[in-house]
């Protein structure tokens, strides 16, 4: 169940007739992605942005053979939509939808895993491989092909960092937005393992934030399994305990999940940690020269 996308990626957009589904279908096609089908609860809509629209995932799969789904459906319908995707045998589901209930997401993860479907998200910007494919809402203009892999829990911070890398002469192999909810379908470790195996990726940028222990677990994994240089930034360093900062998962409780603990763990694993996002290109340059 790979989280990566490439030129062979064929995308089915669930909720394609909605405002966001339509806009971002246009953006994915402009990026060069093969968007082969969409689904909608609306009747009598034959196509959107030149993409055929079907009434069910099953019908769309039979007619167009997608291998990736992008979900823009409202949160109350997300669980049923994901079940349809998993039942149809689609191996990757990118869930853009936010505000999915915690227990719905637990059901979705269990069901998807049992069916062999990987979830990216929810509440994520998606994934982009410059020159090949994009699934989600990441801005097209910030990317160019290169040798830096990027994985992040934050959407808009990802855009800033990727754009900064590009403006400083770097390009990206793949950028993966994990999403900031408490129950993610794909983790830092999943992305790091993929980048470690990818021969085109020479350095990795990992953007974390306060809350949970995902960054500490990633640091342990890096120390044991990742030989490529890793540069990181941890957002939320000024957040007071007990306050949620933006994402549902970005909350410090009982001294755990602090920026300080994450920075310490990453530094101990040999990761170059930036104090500010604008420092990342310089640290990547140092890492690649080392």
Catalytic one among 19, 103, 225, 247? Answer: 247
Integer-rounded Cα radius of gyration of the chain = 18
How many angstroms separate the first and last alpha carbons of the chain? 33
Sheet holding 68-71, edge to edge: 47-48, 51-54, 34-39, 10-14, 68-71, 92-95, 118-120
What's the gap between Cα 219 and its chain centre?
A: 19
Cis omega (within 30 of 0) on the bond before 23? no
Name the phi and psi angles at 283, rounded to 5: -70, -35
Q: Rounded CA gap, 17 and 21, in Å?
A: 6
Cα–Cα–Cα angle for 235, 256, 75, rounded to 5 degrees: 65
Q: Rounded CA gap, 110 and 118, in Å?
A: 10
3-class secondary structure, 61: helix
Catalytic residue flag (residue 19): no
CA-wise closest residue to 120 among 85, 149, 147, 165: 85
Active site residues: 247
């Amino acid at each position: 169940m790979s989280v990566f996308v490439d030129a062979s990626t064929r995308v089915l957009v669930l909720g394609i007739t909605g405002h966001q589904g339509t806009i971002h279908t246009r953006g994915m096609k402009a990026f060069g992605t093969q968007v082969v089908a969409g689904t909608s609860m609306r009747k009598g809509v034959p196509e959107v942005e030149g993409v055929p629209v079907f009434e069910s995932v099953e019908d769309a799969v039979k007619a167009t053979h997608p291998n990736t789904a992008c979900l823009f459906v409202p949160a109350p319908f997300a669980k049923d939509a994901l079940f349809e995707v998993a039942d149809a045998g689609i191996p990757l589901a990118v869930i853009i939808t936010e505000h999915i209930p915690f227990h719905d997401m637990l059901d979705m993860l269990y069901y998807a895993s049992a069916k062999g479907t990987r979830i990216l998200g929810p509440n994520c910007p998606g994934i982009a491989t410059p020159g090949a494919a994009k699934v989600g809402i990441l801005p097209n203009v910030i990317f160019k092909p290169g040798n830096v892999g990027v994985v992040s829990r934050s959407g808009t911070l990802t855009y800033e960092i990727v754009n900064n890398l590009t403006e400083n002469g770097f390009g990206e192999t793949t950028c993966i937005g994990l999403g900031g909810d408490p129950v993610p379908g794909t983790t830092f470790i999943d992305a790091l393992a993929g980048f470690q195996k990818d021969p085109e990726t020479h350095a990795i940028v990992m953007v974390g934030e306060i809350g949970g222990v995902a960054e500490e677990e990633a640091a342990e994994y890096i120390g044991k399994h990742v030989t490529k240089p890793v540069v990181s930034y941890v957002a939320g360093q000024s957040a007071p305990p007990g306050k949620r900062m933006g994402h549902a998962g970005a909350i410090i409780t009982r001294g755990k999940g602090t920026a300080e603990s994450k920075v310490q763990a990453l530094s101990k694993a040999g990761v170059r940690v930036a104090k500010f996002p604008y420092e990342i290109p310089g640290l990547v340059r140092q890492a690649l020269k080392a």
